[in-house]
Amino acid sequence: MKVVLSLGSNLGRRFDTLQGAIDAIFDAPGLAFVAVSPVYETDPVGGPEQGPYLNAVVIAETMLEPRALLERAQSVEDSFGRARGERWGPRTLDVDLIVVGDQSCDDGELTLPHPRAHERAFVLVPWAEADPTAVLPGHGPVAELAASVGTAGVRLRADRTLQVPM
């Protein structure tokens, strides 16, 4: 199954955190790297006053179940000092599962596809760049969704390139 992960950081060494997260996500077995988007600097959405984020999208292939992927994502967040305090507050690292194949889930702890991905430019713009033919189940082609939400508050950071896991 194809899995799409959205990464974001707006505290500390943001770029180093994103790179470290990619390295950690692929360090354990069960995920095969497919693609990574360029890095974007984005304005925060919702929450308190806070600084800009660096965001990227990673695409992988997996046979892991969504719950195992969620546990891995949360473990990686924890290893980078993620504090789960204020909703939509600043964070060292945010790793969101956007889609896992065509699976759907809504059990209170995990919702797939991600319930707000279709309206978030910081997810859609990098995802469309990493996979121009991607489709968000229930919402349509990612490139069209990205065009409809626009790119206000989303700026390409051409000076930052994430390294592909080996």
Catalytic residue ranges: 82, 91, 94, 96
Best CA proximity match to 111, nearest among 70, 152, 166 = 70
Give the other-Cβ count within 10 Å of 119's Cβ.
13
31: β partners = 62
Q: Which phi and psi (to 5°) does residue 117 adopt?
A: -60, -35
Upper half-sphere CA count for residue 108 (Cβ side, 13 Å): 0
Closest CA to 123 of 68, 59, 33, 74: 59
